[in-house]
Amino acid sequence: MNVFYLLLVAAVLLGLQVLVFRRAGHKNIHVTRDFTKKRLFAGESLQMVEVIENRRLLPVPWLRLETRMPGELLFGRQDNLEISGNRYHRSVFFLRPWQRVRRIHEIRATHRGFFQFTSYAMTVGDLVGLSRQTIEKSMEKSIVVYPKLLSREEASLPASRWQGEAIVRRFINPDLFLYNGIRDYAPGDPIRDIHWRAYARSGELKVKQYDYTAQRKYLVLLNVVLDENQWGEINPDDEAKMEYAISLAASLMVYALQDGLEVGFGANGYAKPYEGEAVYLPPASGNQQSELVLESCARLVPKRVKNFHVFLKEMPVPRDTDIVLLTGYTNDMIEAEADRLRAQGNTVTVLPLHREEGRAST
């Protein structure tokens, strides 16, 4: 009989605690999640910081946070961390009354991309797991992972076409902002170039000497289709080649911007989340343009929006531009568009994506 009463009391207590924790539910449980970096290069690491607060007198016996995660973000080993098929990140907590817990998860970005986190699931339970309640919370976070850059040697063009604001050794136009010393006066030199202070010191006429620049723009255009007969999604066997092509495009543009050129980018794929729109950034210079081209490469989805020759025909290319075409193949229509661009006063370099199988042509 005593055993019966003990069991009855236990059942009543269990039922009461279920009612209490069910009524309390998710009330006064505050969760924040953030990333220490919003932008980084593939291969670099960042941290996800979780802060969980129990703002009530009642403890939280069991709390689980669950977020869908892309497989390209790899978590380090840590207590209370569970990765299910590289798709879900789970953290489990016990919280005392008025307790605040801060947890840091190390993450390594293995692949370029644009990763959005719109929500996470929060589940609370009672002391013995008889009752569980799950709600979905908004997160609205994103990470942009830039492609890994190649070295300058790996990214160099055969018979390099760098021009722009780079100094050249052939006469094009003197740049009055690129002062390069003085020389003796020669008949025909303009009066404005005479260096009067040098004349006052030496008693001989000297003129200012300038370097020369081409003052051209630089545009990298990527064909996201490696094979002329390819339709739909890229072949899994070719994914590595396309990722190399995107890294090559990003490297060419970053180094050109570092050298002071105006740089633009285009591709016949689309950038997340703008499905159906081909990518095009007109040439510009500066740090902001560097961020824009890197982010375009990070967001790029190698799925054809339009044929490459159509993309070349419709794209608003400014005159006097050095154009590099990164493509896995060429055909008569692509060659015709390249010739049309040359006829408009541009230079066009076709750089095969299978670099070991061919040389760039101009």
Q: Which strands make up the sheet holding 81-84, listed edge to edge?
A: 39-41, 132-146, 113-125, 60-68, 88-95, 81-84
Q: Does domain 2-146 have CATH number 2.60.40.10?
A: yes
Q: What is the pLDDT of residue 158?
A: 45
Nearest to 257, CA basis, from 281, 284, 282: 284
Handedness of CA 17, 23, 28, 31 (dihedral sign): positive
Rounded to 10°, the helix 239-258/287-299 angle is 180
Q: C-alpha angle 131/133/139, rounded to 5°?
A: 155
Q: What is the pLDDT of residue 354?
A: 64
Blockwise average pLDDT, block size 10, the chain, 362 residues: 67 65 79 92 94 90 85 69 61 89 91 91 78 84 94 66 40 45 72 73 73 68 86 75 94 90 94 91 93 96 92 89 91 93 90 56 43
Q: What is the pLDDT of residue 168?
A: 41
Q: What is the pLDDT of residue 311?
A: 95
Q: What is the pLDDT of residue 172?
A: 43
Q: What is the pLDDT of residue 353?
A: 80
Which of the following CATH numbers is that of domain 217-357: 1.10.287, 3.40.50, 1.10.3210, 1.10.150? 3.40.50
Q: Give the residue extent of every domain in the chain.
A: 2-146, 180-213, 217-357
pLDDT tens by residue, 76-118 = 755 444 555 446 788 888 889 999 999 888 999 999 999 998 8
Which DSSP letter does residue 187 get?
T
Residues 170, 183: Cα–Cα separation, whole Å = 18
Q: What is the pLDDT of residue 112?
A: 95
Q: What is the pLDDT of residue 129?
A: 67
